[in-house]
Amino acid sequence: MHKLIYSIILISTILFSSTIQTGIVKKIVDGDTLKTYKHNIRFAYIDTPESKRNKRAKKFANQCKGITLNTIIKAGKLSSSFTKSLVSKGDKIKFNIIDTDRYNRKVAIIYNNQVNINEELISQGYAVPYYQYIPFTLKRKYKKLNQQAKSNNRGLYKIYPQVMRCLEN
């Protein structure tokens, strides 16, 4: 009984300890990162290809057979462009802060005009779920969104399927 009560308290703390805030978008950094005037924000539960040459992009290219750094960057720029079609500089957004990452960015779910941008990026094939960090209650939903994007050849699954397959792993 004590374990059940402890589990309920722990789950409630996780679910209800997040903070919903609003902010004005200052800059879209790449497909899964933006800046407001107050915070640098990393989109929670998703991953997109890198849009700039950096350590992570080079590591990704080395791990994925047959994929060049240039291909990753091109895919990343498309993901970034799609993010910019959903969220623009000057937009007033809502975001639900989940955590703070090692780079001191807020990790959050982003909403613009009541659209969950994180989920939209997955459902349109410009991001993949980052399963390592997704809470159990959302894993099935994110997996379904990703499977639909893949089976319907949406976004990067149509243009750069090899990048998306590698990113999924």
Q: What is the pLDDT of residues 90-141, one digit of tens each?
A: 999 999 999 999 999 999 999 999 999 999 999 999 999 999 889 999 999 9
CA atoms within 13 A on the CB side of 150: 17
CATH of segment(s) 19-168 = 2.40.50.90
Q: Where do the domains of the chain lie?
A: 19-168
Q: What is the pLDDT of residues 17-62, one digit of tens each?
A: 567 899 999 999 999 999 999 999 999 999 999 999 999 889 888 8
Write out the two tokens for 91.
Answer: 């937009």
Write out the two tokens for 163.
Answer: 């990048």
Q: State if pTM tops 0.85.
A: yes
Residue type at 52 in one-letter notation: K
Q: What is the pLDDT of residues 62-95, one digit of tens each?
A: 888 889 999 999 999 999 999 999 999 999 999 9
| Burial class of residue 101 (count of CB atoms within 10 Å of its CB; 0-12, 13-18, 19+) | middle
**Residue from 86, 77, 73 nearest 113 by CA:** 86
